[in-house]
A and B are shown apart, each in its own frame.
Chain A
Amino acid sequence: MGEAPTGPVLEVKDLRTHLFTSRGVGRAVDGVSFALRRGETLGLVGESGSGKSLTCLSLLRLNPQPASRIVGGAVLYEGTDLLAKTDEEMRRYRGKRIALVLQDPMTALNPVFTVGNQIFEAIRLHQGARGSRLRKIAAEMMRLLRIPDPEQRLGDYPHQFSGGMRQRAVGAIALSGKPSVLIADEPTTALDVTIQAAYLEVLKEIQRRERLAILFVTHDFAVVARMCDRVAVMYAGKIVETADTWRLFDDPRHPYTVALLRSVPDVEARIERLYAIEGQPPSVFEPAKGCAFAARCPHAEARCHDEPPPDVPLEGGRAVRCWLFVR
């Protein structure tokens, strides 16, 4: 076991991924920055369309092309900028150092190949295993993800797996390169609650053992509370607030975070009403001149509409992108 490096394993600086469509240029990811340390889970939350998935894909340079292009910023993996790599160099990072788990387990596996074949592919690529050793490692990976009867089920096709098992198979594929960063884009949204809980438990256990850094995208604050050490709140292509999970829940600062947390139905308090945030987020094709949230913000002042707010560092390592905190 080596000493843990002091710096973050993944650092994203001012990442910009723009859409290039017939409607014009859309600033879908527009200056995202965050850092991820070993063994840490960073949650990424925000409304639908705020750019979470596109951020995830951009980190691996797998953003849809030619619909979108990374136009600026840096993605530093242990200090080296992935955006400056050639395609072939970039490929060697995928799965091996940074792995990705996608949202929908029903469509993430290739329907015409056996699950085993798809796990073998990753193990062969990243661990160079062949023959019976390959089968053994694959079965181990499946056991690690708690897929029952791994040896027999290697020969099954994806359609013979349940949703929960497929998501575990995707997890087994993602982890078979022994990555140090896992990007999980809503990995449990399609699963029912009990299966979801079991999957998250497995993920946490593996994270503890391997000191895995996880970027965890989700809509679900219950999942955030269970999984994440810190949370980044995304709105209209930017991260508007970052804080430790407990601080964010206890004391949200950005008016958008406040509104977002209020919109979560609180089961314990039996509040039946669901606060919807009024208004719509701005279109990515017509970015606001000032703060993107100003039009919906109850505290908006004149300059909120005119000038984009800076990122303001606050106590406890948290930060908020809002004029209200500029003194």
Chain B
Amino acid sequence: MIRVVFFRLMQSLVTLLITSVIIFALARTSGSPADLVLAPEATPAERQAYIERMGFDRPLAYQYLIFLKNALQGDFGKSLRTGQPATRLVFERLGGTLRLATVALLIALAISLPLGVVAATQRGRTWDRVGLGFALLGQSVPSFWKAIVFVIIFGVWLRWLPTSGVGTWRHYILPAVTLGWGVSAGIVRLLRSGMLEVMGSEYIKLARAKGLRESVVVWKHGLRNALIPVITFIGFMYGIIIASGVVIEVVFGWPGLGLLAYESTLWRDFPVLQLTVLLFTVIVIVINFLVDVSYGLVDPRVRGG
């Protein structure tokens, strides 16, 4: 067990290292921050002085090693735009992203668990079609498009919900539903096919032969088994929600990591962008780890012993 954890830890560190190289190089292909940070009327000499002060004239590999050395000491540099430490800016936004993603995931589950189960038990009938159609629509319509349509309908026409910013629970609804609906299709389909397989198994026959109510057979004996493969997928989906949250956070003006990543890309604010992307990577790694742990909770066969 300890060896497994150690191995996973090493694996995660390598992933982080590779990600940091990629984002470090990629960010710098977008152009020089000097163009944006300095006033348009700055002289070439002022420009040159800025670039030298920030070390942007050094070879890329050298810059990276300096970044790495500082990062290992917990120093991810200061924002080129505001001068505040990148860590502070980023961690301020982390909560917003996690809250939105979690609400979105809960909405996705609230939509897809009943739909997946009902689609399987009513195979070929109305609810099956409704469930699959609804889920498919959510998946195939791009999220920025859904977001805009929602804003028009619920924000502009009906004026039911706020379309931007944070504050109350009502601010969560539009962005979270947009995100959650988008990932529910995969869960519905996976759960449906899982349920179809499980409901044909011998232990379901035995559960029925015992005289259990059909609802107990489906929701206890069936769902619990069909959920096992879905759990991994849900973890994976949580990562997707966080990543695809970039677009949603921009559309809905949601102050999270995604909006920060977007802004710092526009501003070529390398230190902030780097840290944001690294944090995304850490989140995904942590989720995957939690998924592996939770696997043992739902499937006793994996627990060992």
List A residues at the B interface (Cβ < 8 Å). Answer: 57, 60, 62, 64, 87, 91-96, 99-100, 102-104, 107-114, 121-122, 125-126, 157, 159, 170, 173-174, 177
Query: In this complex, what residue of A is CB-closest to B204?
Result: A110
Beta-carbon contact of B300 and A125 below 8 Å: no
Which residues of chain B are near A103, meaning CB under 8 Å? 202
CB of B206 closer than 8 Å to a CB of A: yes
Quick one: given A60-B209, A125-B210, A177-B211, are A111 and B202 in contact (CB under 8 Å)? Answer: no
B203 within 8 Å of A (CB atoms): yes
Out of B202, B209, B213, which one reaches A107, CB within 8 Å? Answer: B202
CA distance A157 to B296 in the complex (A): 13
Measured between beta carbons, the chain B residues less than 8 angstroms from A95 are: 209-211
Q: List 12 A-B contacts (CB under 8 A).
A: A94-B209, A95-B209, A100-B206, A107-B203, A108-B202, A109-B203, A109-B206, A111-B301, A112-B224, A125-B210, A125-B211, A159-B301
The residues of A that contact B205 with a CB separation of less than 8 Å are 57, 62, 100, 102, 108
**What 1/0 flags go to B222-262 for Cβ under 8 Å of A?**
00110010000000000000000000000000000000000
Task: Tell me what chain B mostly uses at the interface: helix, strand, loop, or mixed.
Answer: helix
A interface footprint on B188-224 (CB within 8 Å = 1, 0 otherwise): 0000000000001111011111111110000001001
Complex alpha-carbon distance, A322 and B216, angstroms: 47
Cα distance, A170 to B207, chains bound together (Å): 11
Is B17 interfacial (CB 8 A cutoff)?
Answer: no
Q: How far is the CB of A206 from chain B (nearest CB, A)?
A: 18
Name the residue among B201, B202, B225, B228 with the largest chain A CB count within 10 angstroms: B202
8 Å CB contact of B203 from A96, A110, A159: A110
A residues within 8 A CB of B290?
Answer: none
CB distance from B202 to the nearest CB of A (A): 4
How many angstroms between the C-alpha atoms of A174 and B298 in the bound complex? 26
Q: State whether A62 and B208 are in contact (beta carbons under 8 Å apart), knowing that A112-B224, A157-B300 are contacts in the complex.
A: yes
How many angstroms from the CA of A111 to the CA of B300 in the assembled complex? Answer: 8
In the complex, the 10 A-B pairs of residues with the closest C-beta atoms, listed nearest first: A95-B211, A100-B209, A94-B211, A107-B202, A110-B203, A157-B300, A95-B210, A108-B202, A108-B206, A122-B210
Query: Known contacts A107-B201, A107-B203: does B209 contact A159 (CB below 8 Å)?
Result: no
